[in-house]
Structure 1
């Protein structure tokens, strides 16, 4: 009698196990081009965030099966060399290095990566010089570029870039004007020659599944990892993420088109209001003849100098630049990187189970 009563539950459990296995295999199939390109278990990249994406977070992402990326930012070649070595001491798994194309020592930084046998170099912040792409590839590295439009995606592929990231305006930090939803529709159906990773506003595995089914090779996340336990960001920085809603992560406001402001998405705080006041006062001084146009532009651009470091390292979340994507509204606690990635994979598997009709909810 006991066996008869237990049998349906046992059958249900076995069916659930098989369904989950099948969904996991389907996920592996969907992002196979991404995992093969990165050399990882999961096609999940860590976004390169200045002051945040350093040895500790990068190695934690790679050790958990994802792909960590060092944010070189304004580092000198010597500093980058030390950071790569420190990261390699913490992980034997693949990771990449993000280089800003406008860095005055870009060529030297590429050589630093090649000497350290970094397998993937990410060139961000504009169309990379063809010489940098060629040098990286000749040195044996794969090159990843950022494509904010289809025409630029095609141009990068012609230049020899091996993979692309398409990042929507929902992302944190420096952003373009177009949402990931639109970029994905514009680019994914037409770019099949190289893996394309999606980024911007992604915080859940079921969202990743949706983009994979559209043709993406994987996803890049920044905001969730910035608040991870392994992130060196100040506890007040992480607490600001946990308190925030999506609507709190806005792009910087430009008061006058004569003085362009690079759009940067971050949490609105006292610093945001002071920036508006600073712009208004600078405009007044320009119109009064106290400043030339170039001087006024520099005054505006220099306002945020050092402010990201103040927020991330010192915990000044009131006047510092708390860069965050709109996905910050889904950051509800400080989690380990391993838990974040496990959660993302589980959500992706659950989504595939639902879509295949294998599970009723």
Structure 2
């Protein structure tokens, strides 16, 4: 099937907003969502998003330029709100005329929304609850991603299906809402589109694409895993508001528990303030992810994965993944 009229009709608003053929975003996965995967997704009709993560301004500058050399299609950049150089990173995005900036990791700091929009970019924010969704829209967000706890990486406490039922009926008629978390098949995409979603975001499904630079051992770990293997981290210290992370269980998840104890002790001693403590946790994840994704250390690195990992069985080109998702969605809509 190469024609998807019913799915295209339901995705029209989202695709028009993104400037892409389909309203399928790829979640920003640190070390994975870089120039090769991002450009491949945009070239295949989806919407790739560079994961800035802990990048310096120079690294992001080079990554955007390299991505633009591989695609002339739209793509976005995901920035972490707690990054100490957030406003400089926003300037880098503006320099390259990036059309869409995604802010993740908490409420946008004062002035960041205006800084993004004044430079002509559209702003996408994450909303883990209805009240926050409304606040972000009032504050200037052009679109929202509602991401459930089934997702990989940093997660909220509520499942995707519950968030969709709470938020889509209330906000989707007048606003652009993308749904994320635990989506592995086109049938589920069709369901959220019918509920009013403008589109969807997937990460885990793309992590092992042929174009992904992830280490072969990282990909093999995904192929072997089932949904129950992707577990959420536990917060040890209530003073340290660590956002839970979902990843495949290994020695790395145990090491994170030890890291929390270490940072908590530094807080007790007054050696670091709360902001520095959170940054140390983020830097831990960046390093642990690199060990798994780039070095292939699947025992000690972080294998961030959503519960849809059980549906990832083999390496496939991005274009085939998107075509399969669209065909499954169309078939589901035709059965209605």
TM-score relative to the length of structure 1: 0.85
Distance 1:206 1:294 in 2: 51
State how far apart, in whole Å, the 1-side matches of 2:241 and 2:291 are.
24
Does the alignment pair 1:37 with 2:17?
yes
Paired residue for 1:26? 6
Q: Given the alignment, which residue of 294, 298, 303 partners 1:322?
A: 303
Relative to structure 1, is the Cα distance of residues 103 and 303 closer, same or farther in structure 2, using a 3 angstrom cutoff? closer
Distance 1:153 1:57 in 2: 29
After superposition, the CA RMSD in angstroms is 2.4
Tell me the equivalent position of 1:67: 47
Show the counterpart of 2:235: 254
Identify which of 252, 255, 265 aligns with 2:246.
265
Which of 169, 176, 180 does residue 149 from structure 2 map onto? 169
**5+ residue gaps, structure 2:** none
Change (3 A) 1:117 1:304: closer
Q: Report the Cα offset of residue 294 of structure 1.
A: 5.2
Summarize the Cα distance change of 1:258–1:35 in structure 2 as closer, same or farther, 3 Å threshold.
closer
1:122 maps to 2:95: no
Please give the per-residue CA displacement for 1:271-313, whole angstroms capped at 9, x wherever unaligned: 223445x379869x96xxx993656996994765611110010
1:31 alignment partner, SS class:
helix
Distance 2:95 2:323 in 1: 33
State the partner residue of 2:220: 239
- Which residue in the other structure is 1:13 paired with? none
Distance 1:50 1:279, change over 3 A: closer
Q: Is the 8 A contact 1:59 1:68 kept in 2?
A: yes
Partner residue, 1:312: 293
Tell me the CA shift for residue 131 of structure 1. 1.6
Q: How many residues align?
A: 330
Q: Secondary structure at the match of 1:189?
A: helix
Match for residue 160 of structure 2 among 177, 180, 183: 180
**2:80 alignment partner in structure 1:** 100
Max Rg structure: 1
Match for residue 55 of structure 1? 35
Question: TM-score, normalised to structure 2's length?
Answer: 0.91
Residue matched to 1:83: 63
SS in 2 for 1:306: helix
Aligned in 2, Cα 1:275/1:164: closer, same or farther, shift over 3 Å?
closer
| 1:5 alignment counterpart | none
Note closer, same or farther for the CA distance 1:63–1:305 as it changes in structure 2 (3 Å cut).
closer
> Which whole-Å CA distance do the structure 2 matches of 1:281 and 1:127 have between them?
26
